[in-house]
Structure 1
Amino acid sequence: MRKLFLIITSIIVLLGIWLLISSKQATESTTRIQAKLADVKDFKYYLDQGNDKIGKEMANTDLVIVEPIEMQQKYIDHAQENGTLIYGYINAMEADKWNSELYSQLNEADFYIDKYGEKMYFSEWDSYLMDMTSQHYQELLLEEIQKQIVQKGLDGVFLDTVGNINSYLPEKEQEAQNEAMLSFIKKIKQQYSGLSVAQNWGFQTLADYTAPYIDFIMWENFSYDVVGEDDWALDRMKQLVHIRDKFGTQVMAIGFEDEEKSRALAEKYQFKFFYSPAGSHYNTWQ
């Protein structure tokens, strides 16, 4: 009996040591990523296949967000060997029909259903709004992250469409979805220790829920004519500066028009800036 007690005690001690080491490594990894993100001078957002020219330019860019299903592994590896941070795209609040392998595993309960009993379809992207409170859907996304992000050795996961919660859902339904999003992001951190997490839009979600776990947030259409003199947008800029000061969350801003004035505004708030004249279609390396 005493021998069994000693064995169990030893196992508990070893487990505790392993947890401490894992926690320390995760903290060190997060600190390293945040330091590199703070030093980012240029970044790209590209969701298609690479070629030798793109691969070479990726290796000379501080940060690149890629579609890991499309981007070839050799270009990812080469860029990382040269110090580039690579984040992999995962559509969080929408299911893309083109991603047939993931889409075929969805249950009806995974889709968001409005008060009329209808799904919400986005014709421009051929996608459906999803229900983050579905545990089955969260598990599918975690498996997708394991397959497309972790196994391919990427530095982080970029969660797109987080902003859909505040943009498309009735106010009374937003809290449940935001809580579910927070729970999902915590699961990413727990299951994939040291993996960096970023989100697209969802400023209120960030402020009220996810900021402690998010290393950068993207602001699309950060174009001067849209945000430069808009009170709501200017308030969000100040809010994001406060969040960055508190949690280290960087801001990646993408301008669609008026590159010079948009870049100057981003630099005023020390946001990273990328100019995309093609708008929110990122299938051309720019």
Structure 2
Amino acid sequence: MMQKIILCSCVLPLFILGSCAERTTIKDIERFKYYLDKGSVKIGDQMKEMDLVIVEPIEMQQDYISAAQQQGTLVYGYINAMEGDKWNKELYHQFKEDDFYKDENGTKMYFEQWDSYMMDMTSVHYQKVLLEEIENQVVQKGLDGVFLDTVGNINSFLQPDEQRSQNEAMREFMKKIKAEYDDLSIGQNWGFDTLMDYTTPYVDFIMWEDFSYREVAHDEWALEKMERLQKLRKQYGIQVLAIGFKDEAKSKKLSQKYGFKYLHNENGSYYNEW
């Protein structure tokens, strides 16, 4: 049986006062969901059945968040850390020119698939704006944690001589989050080297997208990362949430071998269907 911790009404946000709730601890989660669209009555009911749910706080209705938390579900709010999404106009319009990453030719990095730009975490102004977004979308809405997406962009898209400064800035950004909101849990998406060398003290879980058997089972790089993440989990309690896109049975079995939590998502890296 999963262990629970009791959070009484005195420490819960005002909108869910009235009773104590049993909350799942990070290390004991079994059922989780990653969903970035609006809720419905049916989805709201299913959120209550999860141990942990990552939502887009701009989209997900507050009533469903609060109701799920009352049933013990941990709810994390999605924040895009290393990309500026043009769809999020209110946030995007706050960025200054120096907040965008630019290569040696002064060219911005644009991701056509997501209609977003790579951001520069070393920008003091960008960190300030992102912290305010966490305050508005995560803290003020009473969520349990923040999920920082695209952390892995640092190692995936930048040249080696640029990665260190961005990784150090990411570490300092997480440090600021903890300084402002000590009880706010942090999850990050990808960025395995970032986690291992920089952000370990601040992160409660890391997500591994496309943890699909045919992609990782026989890949030396992936196998080495699995071993190191397994050690981090045992040493520091950092959990790994693995999401597979293919080979569900084999992918799940492999994830369980390393003590990772597994979710199958046949739609790939799109999370607009529950």
TM-score for both structures, normalised by structure 2: 0.91
> The residue matched to 1:83 in structure 2 has which SS?
coil
> The residue matched to 2:186 in structure 1 has which SS?
strand
- Among 212, 217, 240, which residue is 2:206 paired with? 217
- Among 169, 181, 188, which residue is 1:199 paired with? 188
| Alignment-derived partner of residue 134 in structure 1 | 123
| Alignment-derived partner of residue 14 in structure 1 | none
CA contact (8 A) 1:34 1:215 kept: no
| Alignment-derived partner of residue 21 in structure 1 | none
For residue 115 of structure 1, report the CA deviation from its aligned partner. Answer: 1.2
For residue 212 of structure 1, report the CA deviation from its aligned partner. Answer: 1.2
CA distance in 1, matches of 2:262, 2:159: 32
For residue 121 of structure 1, report the CA deviation from its aligned partner. Answer: 0.2
- Among 144, 169, 177, which residue is 1:180 paired with? 169
| Alignment-derived partner of residue 154 in structure 1 | 143
Residue 49 (1) aligns with residue 38 (2): yes
For residue 245 of structure 1, report the CA deviation from its aligned partner. Answer: 1.6
Residue 103 (1) aligns with residue 110 (2): no
CA distance in 2, matches of 1:138, 1:246: 30
* Uncovered stretches (5+) of structure 1, i.e. residues with no partner: 1-24, 26-32
CA distance in 1, matches of 2:108, 2:239: 34
For residue 35 of structure 1, report the CA deviation from its aligned partner. Answer: 7.1
Q: 5 Å matches for 1:3-18?
A: none
CA contact (8 A) 1:34 1:248 kept: no
| Alignment-derived partner of residue 15 in structure 1 | none
> The residue matched to 1:199 in structure 2 has which SS?
strand
Paired letter, 2:40: N
Residue 243 (1) aligns with residue 232 (2): yes
CA contact (8 A) 2:23 2:73 kept: no
Residue 91 (1) aligns with residue 74 (2): no
| Alignment-derived partner of residue 260 in structure 2 | 271
CA distance in 1, matches of 2:176, 2:233: 23
CA distance in 2, matches of 1:140, 1:111: 13
| Alignment-derived partner of residue 280 in structure 1 | 269
Residue-pair matches, total: 254
For residue 193 of structure 1, report the CA deviation from its aligned partner. Answer: 1.7
- Among 39, 63, 68, which residue is 1:74 paired with? 63
Asked which structure has the greater CA Rg, the reply is 1
- Among 226, 242, 245, which residue is 1:253 paired with? 242
| Alignment-derived partner of residue 8 in structure 1 | none
Once superposed, which parts of structure 1, at least 4 consecutive aligned residues long, lie more than 6 Å away? none
Question: What are the superposed Cα offsets for residues 195-219 of structure 1, whole Å, 9 maximum, x if unpaired?
Answer: 0001000000000000111000000
Paired letter, 1:137: Y
For residue 244 of structure 1, report the CA deviation from its aligned partner. Answer: 1.2
Q: Percent identity?
A: 63
CA contact (8 A) 1:201 1:219 kept: yes
- Among 2, 15, 28, which residue is 1:39 paired with? 28
TM-score for both structures, normalised by structure 1: 0.87
> The residue matched to 1:114 in structure 2 has which SS?
coil
For residue 34 of structure 1, report the CA deviation from its aligned partner. Answer: 11
> The residue matched to 1:158 in structure 2 has which SS?
strand
CA contact (8 A) 1:112 1:119 kept: yes
CA distance in 1, matches of 2:25, 2:195: 21
> The residue matched to 2:60 in structure 1 has which SS?
coil
> The residue matched to 1:133 in structure 2 has which SS?
coil
For residue 192 of structure 1, report the CA deviation from its aligned partner. Answer: 1.0
CA contact (8 A) 1:43 1:61 kept: yes
CA distance in 2, matches of 1:197, 1:95: 19
* Uncovered stretches (5+) of structure 2, i.e. residues with no partner: 1-10, 12-21
For residue 111 of structure 1, report the CA deviation from its aligned partner. Answer: 0.2
For residue 37 of structure 1, report the CA deviation from its aligned partner. Answer: 1.3
CA distance in 1, matches of 2:24, 2:39: 27
Residue 167 (1) aligns with residue 159 (2): no
Paired letter, 2:217: G
